[in-house]
Amino acid sequence: MQQRHILLAVTGGIAAYKVPELVRWLQRAGHRVRCVMTPAATEFVSPLVLQSLTGEDVRSQLLDAGEEGQIGHIALADWADQVVVAPATANTLAKLAHGMADDLVTAVALATRAPLLVAPAMNVNMWEHPATQDNIESLRSRGVRFVGPEAGELACGWEGVGRMSEPSEIGAAVDLSLAGESLSGEVVLVTAGGTRERVDAVRYLGNRSSGKMGFAIAEQAARRGARVVLVSGPTSLATPAGVRRLDVESALEMRDAVLAEWPDVTIAIKAAAVADFRPARASDLKIRKEDLADGEAPTLELVRNPDILAELCSDRGARIVVGFAAESHDVLESARRKLERKGCDLLVANDVRSTTTGFDSDMNRVSFIWPGGENEELPTMTKSEVAEQLFDRIEKLCEGRR
């Protein structure tokens, strides 16, 4: 693998104790690493440790003639193929969001043309504060990637979101960031998983979708440099690196989440298994047998859910919209009719009766159905490979639109 230059910018949080391990991880992946620090960071991890590990001088002062003489901050910014801020404190995030440059880390981040990856670490209340969330949103909209933070026990004694991601996670996100950026500038919306339609306080109508296909698609889009938002039904799958995830339960919630994102989206992929029907009335309390006459079973009246995909297609503008079709019989013909009916650019059809592929499996066997009726049948492959194949086709559609 080609050796890349990673500039690791360390700011002042307790998570800095993980930085030596991160340096090692990046070096093992074949990268050359240099560290810069804020003065506060030097209180948490010794510059000498990082200097010994990297074999490079470690700078922590912006206005130190001696340090600037060794290698100037602009030269450092130019040297980097990738800048990683880890850990990133709330204060540094705020400064990055506003383009401030009053310490070495923020000055380098402002001066570099390399992509920026940020691994935040802070107290859960600082993380959830609207000021921090606004700063994150503003950085994301400028193409800055984030990894973490994770939920767990925090050094401050609180439990919640705020732990810096593990070095292996940050390393994986660096690799993603350095990989091809063929979808850079695109905003990809992916829906995944099955929806749950509430019956009463404890019951719902659901389906067998695991979400694996949609998550693999979101991961692949992020790998290719897109900004990705993943609207997911309930699942225990981990969020892929660099992906913003919105959790929803019902079809109506999924529709609201999707429509709220719609103005920014350039490519939409609807892999979710959306329930077509929901109970006309959901009870806030549990329906108990003792409230019913002897031997009586309640009757569920169902109403139709909106067809989100059809709605998106009717307001798609220049967007590319891809649908999925879950079919149990007559797969190609039924999928062709579905594509016509919904009006999407491409439909991915799968036969849900197969026991070796489809629901909950890591494998899938799909056909791509094109407007006009042409179809491509793919062999059985992993869901990640299906996602790659899918984006190879979508990129061609993008080229056709330019």
**Dihedral angle at the C-alpha atoms of 357, 359, 361, 362, nearest 10 degrees?**
90
Piece of 10-18, 119-127, 147-155, 321-329 that binds ligand CTP (CB under 6 A):
321-329
Token output for 179: 């990989």
Rounded Cα distance, 155 and 317, in Å: 48
Token output for 267: 């490519």
The answer to whether the Cα torsion of 299, 233, 248, 288 is positive or negative is: positive
Residue 323 Cβ vs ligand CTP, minimum distance, rounded to whole Å: 4
- Give me the amino acid identity at 35: C
Distances (CA, A) of 154 to 12, 15, 128, 150: 15, 10, 14, 10
Of residues 199, 239, 197, 233, the one with CA closest to residue 215:
239
Among 104, 109, 222, 274, binds ligand CTP (CB under 6 A): 274
Piece of 66-74, 78-86, 149-157, 271-279 that binds ligand CTP (CB under 6 A):
271-279
323 binds ligand CTP (CB under 6 A): yes
Residue 116 Cβ vs ligand CTP, minimum distance, rounded to whole Å: 34
Answer whether 191's CB lies under 8 Å from 231's CB: yes
Token output for 16: 């800095």
Kind plus residue range of the DSSP H or E element containing 5: strand 5-10
232 binds ligand CTP (CB under 6 A): no
Is 6 or 339 the residue whose CB approaches ligand CTP more closely? 339
> Which listed residue (35, 156, 344, 398) is catalytic?
156
Answer whether 153's CB lies under 8 Å from 15's CB: no
Kind plus residue range of the DSSP H or E element containing 221: helix 212-223
Of residues 30, 11, 264, the one with CA closest to residue 120:
11
Among 93, 96, 144, 325, binds ligand CTP (CB under 6 A): 325
Among 88, 144, 190, 326, binds ligand CTP (CB under 6 A): 326
276 binds ligand CTP (CB under 6 A): yes
Extended strands (E) in 121-224: 145-146, 150-153, 159-163, 187-192, 197-198, 204-205
Rounded Cα distance, 42 and 50, in Å: 10
308 binds ligand CTP (CB under 6 A): yes
**Between 163 and 202, how does the x/- string for binding to ligand CTP read (CB under 6 A)?**
----------------------------x-----------
Residue 164 Cβ vs ligand CTP, minimum distance, rounded to whole Å: 35
324 binds ligand CTP (CB under 6 A): yes
Is 95 or 212 the residue whose CB approaches ligand CTP more closely? 212
Rounded Cα distance, 160 and 126, in Å: 11
Is 144 or 326 the residue whose CB approaches ligand CTP more closely? 326
Active site residue 156: yes
Residue 275 Cβ vs ligand CTP, minimum distance, rounded to whole Å: 7
Among 15, 309, 320, 394, binds ligand CTP (CB under 6 A): 309
Residue 131 gets which letter from DSSP? H
Residue 187 Cβ vs ligand CTP, minimum distance, rounded to whole Å: 19
Residue 12 Cβ vs ligand CTP, minimum distance, rounded to whole Å: 45
Residue 241 Cβ vs ligand CTP, minimum distance, rounded to whole Å: 24
Subset of residues 96 to 135 that bind ligand CTP, contact rule: CB under 6 A: none
Is 329 or 402 the residue whose CB approaches ligand CTP more closely? 329
Is 307 or 385 the residue whose CB approaches ligand CTP more closely? 307
Nearest-5° angle of CA 108, CA 114, CA 119?
75
Rounded Cα distance, 346 and 372, in Å: 10
Binding site for ligand CTP (CB under 6 A): 191, 251, 270, 272, 274, 276, 305, 307-309, 323-326, 338
> Which residues are tagged catalytic?
156
